[in-house]
Amino acid sequence: MLWIFLGPAFTAAEFAGGFLLILMMWGAVRFFVSGPEEEGARTHAGEADTGHAHAMASGKRTLRDQVTSVQAWSDVAHNFRGDWQMLWKEMTAGFLIAGFVALLPSAVFEAAFLTDAPAAVRTIENVLIGPLIAILSFVCSVGNIPLAAILWAGGISFAGVIAFIYADLITLPIILVYRKYYGNRFALKLSAMMLMAMVLAALIVDLVFSGLGLIPETRPSIESITDRGIKLNYTAVLDVLFTFAGAALVWLTVRRGAKDPVCRMSVDRHATPHHTAYEGRTYFFCTAGCQEEFESKPEHYAHDAHGTRGNRPRGLLRSRT
């Protein structure tokens, strides 16, 4: 996504700055977080943990088994489906928001980004406003790359784009996750340390890439990003092939899968050891924790799963074959 929308310079900057970001966060935690505060955060995270550690169900396999085993491909299919379930909202939101931003008049970009100020002032302003846009846009993960391309075309600096991309670690949905696991105070402190690390890493990367002459001198027009047509080339052929491959993987999860009535994840009913019967139906679970939660109030989860219906009991018989 980075390479396609922003080019090799931004891709290299993302990886180089990522190492800086990690080192800075390590230093910030060592310097600003005390031992008791760390232990308190770990305790809070342990209490908030839902127990959803979804390991591969089938254990170790030989290379031949990995290629020829239906169970191995089922594991791949369920992981593939799980990844899309986690990312599709962010990617969809990223393209939608980028599309709306692209419709804004150029005056909006000129008002948001300092373009005529001295280079140092402009870089500092842009590297601060980049994360702010990321936080307000709600877009996490790779979904923020299309919007980053629009911002670059709109006039934000190289450092501002890099800081914007890093800031998907402190968007509001992610901060809510920090709050759940670490508590309000530590979540705010962690987010503040991340923000400072992002700003500094982006500034350093901008300084280095500027010194090496690696920052692109030309910017694409917003129209060149939003008005890209579909062409019959190798990319289109690969898209078609992998669409069929993705459809086959999803079909495999439907054929062998069952929805966990507690966490709503799709699990392989032939592989999971966690299942229970209730009112003539068999329910399958991703972990023992979900099974225990279901068994504590089965009438609630059985009703929510399929109205008043679960998975047919014959699935349990097939899972034992």
* 29, containing H or E segment: helix 8-32
Only one residue has tokens 């670690």, namely 169
Q: pLDDT (tens digit, 9 = 90+) per residue, 153-170?
A: 878 889 888 998 888 888
Q: By the 8 A CB rule, do 142 and 1 touch?
A: yes
**Whole-angstrom Cα distance, residue 276 to residue 40?**
36
Q: Where does the pLDDT of residue 201 fall: very low under 50, low under 70, confident under 90, or very high at 90 and above?
A: very high
**Whole-angstrom Cα distance, residue 207 to residue 37?**
35
| % pLDDT > 90, the chain | 17
Q: pLDDT (tens digit, 9 = 90+) per residue, 16-38?
A: 999 999 999 999 999 999 989 98
Task: List beta partners, residue 177.
Answer: none
User: Residue 14 has which token pair?
Assistant: 């993302």
* 276, containing H or E segment: strand 275-278
Q: By the 8 A CB rule, do 143 and 94 touch?
A: yes
Q: Considering the chain, what is the average pLDDT of its residues?
A: 79
**Whole-angstrom Cα distance, residue 144 to residue 148?**
6
The mean pLDDT value for 47-54 works out to: 60
Cα dihedral 10, 16, 21, 22 sign: positive
Q: What is the pLDDT of residue 209?
A: 93
- Residues 106-116, buried b or exposed e (16+ Cβ, 10 A)? eeebeebbbee
Q: pLDDT (tens digit, 9 = 90+) per residue, 90-127?
A: 667 767 776 676 676 666 666 666 666 677 787 888 88
Task: List beta partners, residue 284.
Answer: 275
User: Residue 20 has which token pair?
Assistant: 């800086």
Task: Give the CA-trace dihedral at 71, 75, 80, 85, to 10 degrees.
Answer: 120
271 exposed, middle or buried (CB, 10 Å; 0-12, 13-18, 19+)? middle
**Whole-angstrom Cα distance, residue 273 to residue 129?**
50
**Whole-angstrom Cα distance, residue 50 to residue 271?**
21
User: Residue 157 has which token pair?
Assistant: 């600096």
Contacts (Cβ under 8 Å, ≥6 apart) of 164: 130, 131, 133, 134, 144, 147, 148, 151, 156
